[in-house]
Amino acid sequence: QSVLTQPPSVSGAPGQRVTISCTGSSSNIGAGYDVHWYQQLPGTAPKLLIYGNSNRPSGVPDRFSGSKSGTSASLAITGLQAEDEADYYCQSYDSSLSGSSVFGTGTKVTVL
Amino acid sequence: EVQLVESGGGLVKPGGSLRLSCAASGFTFSSYSMNWVRQAPGKGLEWVSSISSSSSYIYYADSVKGRFTISRDNAKNSLYLQMNSLRAEDTAVYYCARDDSEWGYFDYWGQGTLVTVSS
């Protein structure tokens, strides 16, 4: 049972904007720990998409952006494209689970 | 180019053991913490274990504590996961992932190796 909750699915038409929430608690996101986001295309390993709440690694399009507030974080995809159809996971650290990284429950993004 | 290549997966009976390996190249392996992350079929990601660059700090998820042992050999640029007392619920693709120790994110992942626990 993950301590970071995401919506199971979100969808949008090409060109639209979608957002994915990642809801935590006072022992993880709310404690100030950074949130990172990963994209997992079908049949492949996860790929780092956003680190440190809002930073994009080299090569990640600026259509992807991240934010954090209180006990939650969000990933936004603007100008949705067909190749964005994938699973997305948030990740943080939880102080109640010694040494533990924790992942969100995951969100499937469908491009209509 | 950073590469992480897992091996050692396969079919094992409940209660059995398996040792996974992850061969690293393209970076100074001894400078980075490393992790194992697993994904059960059709399910989400689950962090399994982490080990610091010099093996001084080791952590496990509660679900595997006491059954799995993470280790590394910096001379061989290799990461390992010894899995004992395997259960059906350990069936998953196991990924090794490099840890950016400052920020805590996983910047490089291997392709994964499938472990199936079944009689």
**Inter-chain touch B104–A36, beta carbons under 8 Å:** yes
Chain A residue with Cα closest to B110: A45
Residue B107 in contact with partner chain A when CB distance is under 8 A: yes
C-alpha B112 chain-centroid distance: 9
**How high is the pLDDT of residue B62?**
92
- Model confidence at B4, in pLDDT bands (50, 70, 90)? very high
Question: Exposed (0-12), middle (13-18) or buried (19+): which is A21, by Cβ within 10 Å?
Answer: middle
CA distance A51 to chain B (A): 7
Q: pLDDT digit of tens for each residue in chain A (112 aa)? A: 678 999 999 999 999 999 999 999 999 999 999 999 999 999 999 999 999 999 999 999 999 999 999 999 999 999 999 999 999 999 999 988 876 799 999 999 999 9
**How high is the pLDDT of residue A1?**
63
Per-residue pLDDT reduced to its tens digit, B24-79: 999 999 999 999 999 999 999 999 999 999 999 999 999 999 999 999 999 999 99
**How high is the pLDDT of residue B102?**
81
Residue B27 in contact with partner chain A when CB distance is under 8 A: no
Residue A7 in contact with partner chain B when CB distance is under 8 A: no
Residue B1 in contact with partner chain A when CB distance is under 8 A: no
